[in-house]
Amino acid sequence: MDIGGQTEFGAIQRILIKHPKDALINQETIDRQYKQLNYFGRPDFEKALAEYERFVELLQSEVSEIEYLPKDDTVGLDSIYARDSSLITNKGSILCNMGKAERQGEPSAVGRYLNSLDVPILGTIEGEAAVEGGDIIWLDEKTLVVGQGYRTNAAGIRRLKELTAGLADDVIVVGLPHWEGSKDVFHLMSFVSPLDRDLAAVYSRLMPVPFRELLLERGMTLVEVPDGEFESMGCNILAIAPRKCIMLEGNPLTQRALEDHGVEVLTYVGDEISRKGAGGPTCLTRPLLRDATV
């Protein structure tokens, strides 16, 4: 079973993504959906394709196996953000239940593809229970952190605890702020991105104090994302290996701070595939296999 690695910073060996040609489809589809989905602007399809090719090139610098989700008529533009529909554990996948109504079809579509790869499905979040992958972080191989907010609710967290029993010794629930309200995309990973066992990028002004103190108690160094780079998604950073990451271009202060802590930083222009849909490099990817031995 070529999946697993309950870590957010171990070297990625296998990853699941969705190309914009199969998610955004064409300019006509974008024009029909983007306002309803609360995008910040109208993505340009041709520019999105070019941006994505650069993004894939960066992934290929580290990742040996890339799986592409196929086109599926039951989902929309947001399906490009492959992280949110599932959680990967050492024993299989858990299919989420999206807090955003327009994304309800995505977990089933991802489940069908994972079945084709012979990835076991441990269970699903269903009914009134809601969980999105952007609200879940493996703090270490036995510690799961879950953000409770507008996209992940108490019922979803209870179900997630049931499904991860025996896999996670501890599930830490972090209450998320209202921020821009229920229509905004605000996940746990909006303000914290693990980069190594002892390093994370954070936007402390939105962090609950107990969670921030927990990270410090565990010996983590917190690299602070400045105010001016939070809105430009400077805190949405994908670790592709310990202290090697991909982030959006245009966050020079955060990039320099990471480099000062020994992090190799790769950047891409994501105006069309990231900023307009509020989905950075973590959102665009669902790692299927990471090296958890670091």
Using the Cα atoms of residue 262, residue 260, residue 185 and residue 131 in order, give the sign of their dihedral: positive
The DSSP bridge partners found for residue 247 are 267
| Structure-block tokens of residue 232 | 């430009």
* Region for 68 from its dihedrals, namely left if φ exceeds 0, alpha if ψ lies in -120 to 50, beta otherwise: beta
Taking residues 155-171, report their average pLDDT: 97
Per-residue pLDDT band at 114 (split at 50, 70, 90): very high
Task: Report the pLDDT value the prediction gives residue 182, as an integer from 0 to 100.
Answer: 66
* pTM for the model: 0.95
pLDDT at position 108 over 70: yes
How far does Cα 72 stand from its chain's mean position?
Answer: 20
Task: Report the pLDDT value the prediction gives residue 154, as an integer from 0 to 100.
Answer: 97
Structural domain contains residue 5: no
> How many angstroms separate the Cα of 90 from the Cα of each of 43, 122, 150?
36, 10, 28
Structural domain contains residue 259: yes
> How many angstroms separate the Cα of 224 from the Cα of each of 11, 134, 227?
23, 20, 9
**pLDDT tens digits for range 65-101:** 999 999 999 999 999 999 999 999 999 999 999 999 9
Domain membership of residue 222 as a residue range? 12-290
Per-residue pLDDT band at 169 (split at 50, 70, 90): very high
pLDDT at position 1 over 90: no
Structural domain contains residue 4: no
* Domain of residue 91, CATH code: 3.75.10.10
Structural domain contains residue 61: yes
Structural domain contains residue 174: yes
Q: Which is nearest to 156 in space by CA: 73, 228, 94?
A: 94
Q: What span, in angstroms and rounded, lies between the C-alpha atoms of 285 and 20?
A: 13
Map tokens 């269970």 to a residue.
123
Task: Report the pLDDT value the prediction gives residue 293, as an integer from 0 to 100.
Answer: 83
Q: Work out how many domains the chain is built from and give that number.
A: 1
Positions of E strands within 37-191? 65-68, 86-89, 92-95, 121-124, 136-140, 143-148, 170-175
Task: Report the pLDDT value the prediction gives residue 124, as an integer from 0 to 100.
Answer: 97
Map tokens 């998610």 to a residue.
23
How many residues belong to the chain?
A: 294
Structural domain contains residue 2: no
Q: Which is nearest to 58 in space by CA: 266, 273, 285?
A: 266
Query: By mean pLDDT, which of 105-119, 175-189, 202-216, 258-272 is the weakest?
Result: 175-189
Structural domain contains residue 186: yes
Q: What is the largest CA-CA distance in the chain?
A: 50
Q: What span, in angstroms and rounded, lies between the C-alpha atoms of 196 and 154?
A: 29
**pLDDT tens digits for range 223-276:** 999 999 999 999 999 999 999 999 999 999 999 999 999 999 999 999 999 999
| Structure-block tokens of residue 12 | 């990625």
Phi, psi of 198 (to 5 degrees): -120, 25
